[in-house]
Amino acid sequence: MLKRVGAILLATGVLLLAGCGPKTPTVNESMTKVMAPGAQTIWDITSKAFNAKGDGLEASKISAADWAQLESAGRQLHDRALVLATAKHVKATAKGETIMGEEASGAPSKIGHDWDAASAQGVQAMIDADPALFAKRARILAEAGDTVVKAAPARDVRALYSVSSNLDEVCDGCHQKFWGTDEPPPFPK
């Protein structure tokens, strides 16, 4: 009897683990909720802090509150990028999430729907085809985030500038390969 109860409990536990365990966040959720706002914070604060020549940042133009925001944004980028870099299997989207550009065909109903599926699957296929490169790209972003985290307490504007002026490339370095933003949408059948 005890054995049976144990087995039932065990089975329930396994089900619970499978069903409600902490899930790796999707790429889409990471991009829209973490990467985009985090990068925006860094770009907003640094773009107000350019020096007269425009080739660096002026420490006096970044307040303590700004640094606190930068540190937190850097940490968020770092932490989430690392989650993506170390995930067993990265998922592009979950149910109910749409990839930007999926509506690009502008067509309601059938055509739009076709290209929706192609697009989310397309991104997933690109990730699955080269997960090691995806992880590598994510690690480069994690490093950039970490540099900002470390720059904050040191008020290191040079390190901050090195990240802010290059962040675009860090993002695009992954997007080109795994989002295929250079590719036009597939022609609807």
Q: Which residues are at the interface with ligand HEC (CB under 6 A)?
A: 27-28, 31-32, 35-36, 39, 84, 92, 99-100, 123, 134, 137-138, 141, 167, 170-171, 174-175, 178-179
Beta pairing partners, 51? none
Residue 50 CB, shortest distance to ligand HEC, in Å, is 20
Q: Which is nearer to ligand HEC, 37 or 56 (CB)?
A: 37
108 residue type, one letter = P
Residue 99 CB, shortest distance to ligand HEC, in Å, is 4
CA distance 143 to 81: 9
Residue 166 CB, shortest distance to ligand HEC, in Å, is 11
Q: Which is nearer to ligand HEC, 92 or 151 (CB)?
A: 92
Q: Which is nearer to ligand HEC, 51 or 69 (CB)?
A: 69
What's the Cα-to-Cα distance from 105 to each of 43, 94, 177, 189, rounded to whole Å?
A: 31, 21, 22, 12
Residue 70 CB, shortest distance to ligand HEC, in Å, is 13
What's the Cα-to-Cα distance from 43 to each of 53, 124, 145, 182, 187, rounded to whole Å?
A: 18, 29, 13, 23, 35
Q: Which two tokens stand for residue 94?
A: 């979950």
Place of tokens 């889409």: 28
Q: Which is nearer to ligand HEC, 27 or 70 (CB)?
A: 27
